Amino acid sequence: MDFDNLNQNNIPESKKYDLIILYYCIYYCKNLEELIVLLNNKLKQSGKVIITQNVPNFATVTKFSIMENYPPYVFYDGNYLIKKFSEFGLDVTQYKEKKRKNFISQYFFNFSKLSKSIYSLICISISLYYISLNFFKIKSKDLMLLDYKICFKKNEISK
């Protein structure tokens, strides 16, 4: 799906869905309200939307700034998504958070080959540099990757 041009996606006009999953991609969407309207129009009555994403924190921003060729536009906080989706008749039915490892050990400890070792050392160095620059501003929990999953259900009175 092209999040920059939602109206230009080739989605059948009359097709409605029971379930739509946005798996680690909503941070590429510049216009959240336009996306919510599109999702709401494409859901059947009582249809569900599941969103998974990284919780926005220092670890997430650092990981994406180092690793991604196409960086995200916005890291949406789960509470913000819940608020915005409810404004359009999509109610939260489930919210779960899942802890992962420290972002450095999760992504940059791959020393299986020389080329991967060099890449890992560079990424670790950049990460440690970012940490040292922000040492007094971040908390230890901000160094842990955390994901969330939110399930929304289209309420009965929503159009």
- In this prediction, residue 158 carries a pLDDT of 52
Residue 14 lies inside a defined structural domain of this protein: yes
Burial class (CB in 10 A: 0-12, 13-18, 19+), 76: buried
Residue-wise pLDDT tens digits, 126-141: 888 878 887 888 787 7
Residue 159 lies inside a defined structural domain of this protein: no
The distance between the two most distant Cα atoms of the chain, rounded to a whole number of Å, is 59
Tell me the helix, strand and coil percentages in the chain, rounded to 5.
40, 25, 30
- Quote the pTM value: 0.76
Pick the closest to residue 59 from 101, 22, 24 (CA basis).
101
CATH number at residue 136: 3.40.50.150
Residue 49 lies inside a defined structural domain of this protein: yes
Listed as ranges, residues in the chain with pLDDT below 70 are 103, 106-108, 110, 157-159
Count of C-beta atoms within a 10 Å radius of residue 108:
22
Domain of 36 in residue numbering reads as 6-154
What is the total count of domains within the chain?
A: 1
- In this prediction, residue 106 carries a pLDDT of 66
